[in-house]
């Protein structure tokens, strides 16, 4: 089995993580129709596995207890027909991110403090599976090489049709989005967040604004790579 010579160094563990992540991303993007078809709710508890060779597999969990490695979320197929497809894929993506991290730090259990920090730093350079699946980050790895990727990848239409820029990872549950922003105030007029109105977030100061207050329409926002609010533009902040 693949664990016969399990990864030991930070580089080996990161390579293992990257391969598994690539497999999961492929299942949820390029091969999504095949993946969707394999997750039949009438079958037993199924899991999505990413393998170090960048392949993926939908199968039953390991029989041994405890398993050799942390196991992915169990029974992902049961929720398939009870949710909108994109919401279900987002849910699987979030669970997959959690699984990938648990495997990496299980393999890195013997690393010292500095090595663990270095491993996490390497992992943190990559967009999460959730960010890729919901198109909040480009699929191309190493976003730091690509200036402006933060806002270009994070422009997102939510269920109510509004465009949001600078979306935070905490928005992973779309149903909770409105509650999450209910206390957000417009940086221009001080008005409360309303899901029926278009809002835009500044990529510099991270304040939110009514689109109408800063004269930005949803169509215009789609073409903005990095939005700076009027205050930041005046200060000339980078």
Residue 82's contacts (CB-CB under 8 Å, 6 or more residues apart) are none
pLDDT values of the chain reduced to their tens digit, one per residue, 238 residues:
344 467 789 999 999 999 999 999 999 999 999 999 999 999 999 999 999 999 999 999 988 888 889 999 999 999 999 999 999 999 999 999 999 999 999 999 999 999 999 999 999 999 999 999 998 765 554 434 333 333 333 333 344 444 444 444 444 444 444 455 556 788 878 777 776 778 888 888 888 888 888 888 887 887 887 888 888 887 764 4
Tokens of 27: 């299942």
pLDDT of residue 1: 37
Q: Where are the beta strands (DSSP E) in 115-205?
A: 156-157, 163-164, 199-201
pLDDT of residue 157: 38
Is 0.85 topped by the overall pTM?
Answer: no
pLDDT of residue 80: 94
Indicate the class that CATH gives domain 199-236.
Answer: alpha beta
Residue 95's contacts (CB-CB under 8 Å, 6 or more residues apart) are 72, 73, 76
Burial (CB count <10 Å: 0-12, 13-18, 19+), residue 182: exposed
Q: For residues 35 and 58, is the Cβ–Cβ distance under 8 A?
A: yes
Kindly list the domain boundaries of the chain, sorted by start residue.
10-134, 199-236
DSSP H or E run through 79: none
């Amino acid at each position: 089995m693949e664990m016969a010579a399990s990864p030991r160094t930070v580089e080996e563990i990161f390579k293992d993580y990257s391969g598994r992540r690539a497999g999961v991303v492929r299942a949820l993007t390029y091969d999504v129709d095949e993946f969707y078809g394999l997750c039949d709710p009438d079958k037993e508890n199924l899991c999505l596995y990413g393998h170090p060779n960048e392949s993926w597999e939908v199968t039953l969990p390991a029989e041994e207890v405890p398993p050799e490695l942390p196991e992915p979320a169990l029974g992902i197929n049961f929720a398939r027909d009870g949710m909108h497809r994109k919401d279900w894929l987002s849910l699987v993506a979030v669970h997959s991110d959690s699984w990938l991290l648990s495997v990496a730090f299980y393999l890195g259990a013997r690393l010292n403090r500095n090595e663990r920090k270095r491993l996490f730093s390497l992992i943190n350079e990559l967009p999460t599976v959730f960010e890729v699946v919901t198109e909040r980050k480009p699929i191309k790895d190493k976003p730091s090489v690509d200036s402006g990727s933060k806002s270009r990848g994070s422009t997102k239409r939510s269920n109510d049709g509004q465009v949001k820029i600078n979306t935070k990872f905490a928005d992973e549950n779309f149903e909770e989005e409105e509650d999450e922003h209910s206390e957000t105030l417009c940086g221009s007029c001080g008005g409360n967040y309303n899901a029926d109105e278009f809002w835009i977030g500044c990529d510099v100061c991270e304040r939110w604004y009514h689109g109408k207050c800063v004269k930005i329409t949803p169509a215009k926002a789609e073409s903005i790579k990095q939005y700076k609010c009027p205050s930041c533009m005046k200060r000339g902040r980078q």
